A and B are shown apart, each in its own frame.
Chain A
Amino acid sequence: DIVMTQSPDSLAVSLGERATINCKSSQSVLSSSNNKNSLAWYQQKPGQSPKLLIYWASTRESGVPERFSGSGSGTDFTLTISSLQAEDVAVYYCQQYYSTPLTFGGGTKVEI
């Protein structure tokens, strides 16, 4: 199984400041068939279902604000919120869809 490890577990960021969340996979999720990393990022606000932010490690989902960006390759990935807004308070999860069992990271709680 591919284990996804997120860090930190939580972080507090001032409004307008940058937030950086890390995700490390126990093995590479780079697909040889398309040379893309099978890594996604989700946002879950309290009482809501998760929302896809980023897929293929760096492709922003339609409608997601540009302040959200994803980077990394192989086993190390980062989600960056360039200028934190009040509505970004949530738990963020990374997920690999390279192989089954599909696995999620433990989540990172972002607070103001």
Chain B
Amino acid sequence: EVQLVESGGGLVKPGGSLRLSCAVSGFTFSTYSLNWVRQAPGKGLEWVSSISGGPTYIYYAASVVGRFTISRDNAKDSLYLQMDSLRAEDTAVYFCARGNSSSPLKGAFDLWGQGTVVTVSS
């Protein structure tokens, strides 16, 4: 079965860290770009970061640059998001999503995980 399964969310204090994981199955992992998208409570979708299949190319939203790090392990079919210096405004459901191309700028997001909840609060 083709699927993406996120994990690693939870409650963390401001300034803290979390590492999200996205386990992939059912397709050739290394040939697709992968993305993180978040959705704050009651709000719309916000793109966070993308990584190419290579993974030669990495992109971040301005709101997370310098605090979040995206990575992938093609041997383990897994995507990661290391989140440091977390703020209250990072509270959201975090989705991993597959791009239907090896390049983040050449494909829409055709497969999504169910999301993992990150809450940043003291």
A residues whose Cβ falls under 8 Å from a Cβ of B = 38, 40, 42, 44, 49-52, 55-56, 61, 91, 93, 95, 97-107
Chain B residues whose CB sits within 8 angstroms of the CB of A103 once the complex forms:
47
Nearest-CB residue, chain A, relative to B35:
A102
* 8 A-B pairs with the lowest CB-CB distances in the bound complex, closest first: A40-B108, A55-B108, A49-B112, A102-B47, A104-B45, A100-B59, A107-B44, A52-B110
Knowing A55-B100, A104-B44 touch, does A97 contact B106 (C-beta < 8 A)? Answer: yes
B44, A93: Cβ atoms under 8 Å?
A: yes
A99, B95: Cβ atoms under 8 Å?
A: no
Main SS class of interface, A: loop
B residues whose Cβ falls under 8 Å from a Cβ of A = 35, 37, 44-47, 50, 59, 61-62, 95, 97, 99-100, 104-115
A93 is contacted by which of B45, B62, B97, B100 (Cβ under 8 Å)?
B45
Q: How far is the CB of A2 from chain B (nearest CB, A)?
A: 11
Chain A residues whose CB sits within 8 angstroms of the CB of B107 once the complex forms:
55, 97
A49, B114: Cβ atoms under 8 Å?
A: yes
* In the complex, number of A-B residue pairs with CB atoms less than 8 Å apart: 67
A50, B45: Cβ atoms under 8 Å?
A: yes
Nearest-CB residue, chain B, relative to A1:
B62
Nearest-CB residue, chain A, relative to B47:
A102
Chain B residues whose CB sits within 8 angstroms of the CB of A38 once the complex forms:
105-106
Q: How far is the CB of B75 from chain A (nearest CB, A)?
A: 26
A61 and B97 CA atoms in complex are apart in Å by 15
A86 and B100 CA atoms in complex are apart in Å by 29
Chain A residues whose CB sits within 8 angstroms of the CB of B97 once the complex forms:
50
Chain A residues whose CB sits within 8 angstroms of the CB of B106 once the complex forms:
38, 97
Q: How far is the CB of B88 from chain A (nearest CB, A)?
A: 21
Knowing A100-B59, A101-B62, A104-B45 touch, does A95 contact B108 (C-beta < 8 A)? Answer: yes
A104, B108: Cβ atoms under 8 Å?
A: no
A29 and B45 CA atoms in complex are apart in Å by 19
Nearest-CB residue, chain A, relative to B93:
A49
B105, A97: Cβ atoms under 8 Å?
A: yes
Chain B residues whose CB sits within 8 angstroms of the CB of A98 once the complex forms:
105
